[in-house]
Chain A
């Protein structure tokens, strides 16, 4: 089945130790999103890619970076995780062009714990 896959599902890292979360999709969607979701809160958009065009939200900290080497894969890099970065990270995709009526397809998320 076509889907959005996130690995790992759970990630433990140490304070200040770089960590990379991955997302892959078999939907062949051109748009990929990264959200941060803290407990009992709404997802917060960090950035998205439209093909290779990177779009950063204005309030996304510089500590968060992203790479998209090809259509299928997208990575979230946290350069120096702080305790406040512990959260669920959701990857989502949508079709090209990113039409307003199109739903976003979400992955299961990666829960990040920072020790």
Chain B
């Protein structure tokens, strides 16, 4: 079974600085998708960024980028120029690309990010 681990329960960053959130996962599959979701306090969860395992190029969305290391099974999220609105719980998630399995998303335990003005 696949597992997702986020070893940092809490992180903090100064406004305008850069922070990296860690995520590791365990799988025997070769094809899958990885996601970072953001859940602000009392607000709904939204997708931040998505990475396809068969693509070597790291995904980037504006100030958010990932460092995907397939061999190491590592998928970290880098937030540049941190803003107060980035304060939230961040979940790393895994989804199999196999047709019989991809209805289920496996979430990590989350990292709570605080942004210091």
- A interface vs B, CB < 8 Å? 4, 31, 40-43, 45, 48, 50, 55, 90, 92, 98-101, 103-104, 106-109
As a 0/1 sequence over residues 74 to 90 of chain B, the CB contacts with chain A under 8 angstroms (1 = contact) are 00000000000000010
Residue on B nearest A44 in the bound complex, by CB:
B107
Please state if B46 and A42 are interface contacts (CB–CB under 8 Å). no
Measured CA separation A90–B32 after assembly (Å):
24
Cα A101 to Cα B99 in complex, Å, equals 11
What residues of A have a CB within 8 angstroms of the CB of B43 in the complex?
A: 108
CB within 8 Å of A: which B1-50 residues: 9, 32-33, 35, 43-47, 50
Question: Quick check: B109 and A41 within 8 Å, CB to CB?
Answer: yes
By size class, the interface of chain B is: 20 to 34
- Given contacts A31-B103, A40-B110, A48-B103, whether A101 and B45 have CB atoms under 8 Å apart is no
Contact A42 B44 (CB under 8 A): no
Q: Check B108–A45 contact: CB distance below 8 A.
A: no
**Which of chain A's residues have a CB closer than 8 A to the CB of B89?**
40
Q: Which residue of B lies closest to A99 (CB)?
A: B102
Asked if B33 and A109 make an inter-chain contact with CB atoms under 8 angstroms apart, the answer reads no
> Interface on B for A, CB 8 Å cutoff?
9, 32-33, 35, 43-47, 50, 52, 89, 91, 95-98, 102-105, 107-110, 112
Contact B33 A90 (CB under 8 A): no
Given contacts A42-B110, A98-B102, A108-B44, 15 further A-B contacts (CB under 8 A): A40-B89, A40-B110, A41-B109, A41-B110, A42-B109, A43-B91, A43-B107, A45-B104, A90-B44, A90-B45, A100-B95, A104-B105, A106-B45, A106-B46, A109-B44
> A43 contacts which chain B residues (CB < 8 A)?
45, 91, 107
**A103–B107 contact, CB under 8 A?**
no
Cα–Cα, bound, A42→B52 (Å): 22
